[in-house]
Amino acid sequence: MRAVFVVAAFIFGLVVCYLLVSLGVVDAVDGIPGTQEEPALSLPTYLSFLSVMMTAVTAVLAAVAIAIGIIAAYTFRELKDEARKAAEKAAVSVAEKTAKDVSDNRLSEVKVKDMVFELYAKAEKERQQDVKWDEDPSEKDEKYER
């Protein structure tokens, strides 16, 4: 953006120099204020002034258009790169947070112990029930009758 301002200032300076020389305020040869001899036309006509101003405006607008084009091309690439970087950063952040939450919830020592005790209690209960079901009730009655 700074380059655009520099180019615009340079073009504006050229236009001012042209106007000063064309109006006879500064002599083009030696740069001394005023001219050594009387100019052919002491004041430029309105038409020549208008054409100089239109030329200056056109030159400034052309410089601005070129600058906008360059900035737009650069900005589009940068926007695409920044969007990709932001998406990658967000994905990594979400993945790390999810992994941390899962690991905290699944692998904490207390939870692992609780899960082991729960599984052990369940297995013990099933073992006792299997032992109980393996017994034949008729054999039990025979033991008591003898």
Q: What is the pLDDT of residues 87-113, one digit of tens each?
A: 999 999 999 988 887 776 666 666 777
The reply to whether 94 falls in a domain is yes
The reply to whether 146 falls in a domain is no
The reply to whether 145 falls in a domain is no
What is the per-residue pLDDT across 124-144, written as a single tens digit (0 to 9) for each?
A: 888 888 877 777 666 655 555
* Cα 23 to Cα 13: distance, rounded to the nearest angstrom: 15
The reply to whether 75 falls in a domain is yes
Is the overall model pTM greater than 0.75, yes or no?
no
- Number of structural domains (the chain) is 1
31: containing domain: 2-133
Quote the pLDDT of residue 137: 61
Instruction: Estimate the share of the chain in helix, then strand, then coil, as percent rounded to the nearest 5.
Output: 80, 0, 15
